[in-house]
């Protein structure tokens, strides 16, 4: 199966969230650093993932992203 680069990075982002979540939201810049992807590019990828209900965003000082429950 062929995936677009955008889809591949979206899957990598969700796997990273699953591995590093630990009950607390994960910062987008931490995911970008671990995956070697631009934070700006990941911020564009996360929008459709939120719209599809796969990822939740948490606002505030201890905010970030986590997998939807």
- The pLDDT, as a whole number, for residue 1 is 83
Q: For residues 16-23, give the mean pLDDT.
A: 89
The full 3-state SS of the chain, as one line of letters, equals CCCCHHHHHHHHHHHHHHHHCCCCCECHHHHHHHHCCCHHHHHHHHHHHHHCCCEEEECCCCCEEEECC
Q: Kindly report, residue by residue over 46-61, the tens digit of the pLDDT.
A: 999 999 999 999 999 8
**Per-residue pLDDT at 39 exceeds 90:** yes
């Amino acid at each position: 199966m062929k995936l677009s680069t955008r889809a591949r990075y979206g899957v990598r982002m969700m796997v990273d969230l699953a591995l590093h979540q630990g009950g607390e939201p994960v910062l987008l810049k931490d995911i970008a650093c671990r995956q070697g992807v631009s934070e700006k590019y990941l911020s564009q990828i996360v929008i459709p993932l939120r719209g599809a209900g796969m990822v939740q965003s948490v606002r505030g000082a201890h905010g970030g992203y986590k997998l939807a429950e």
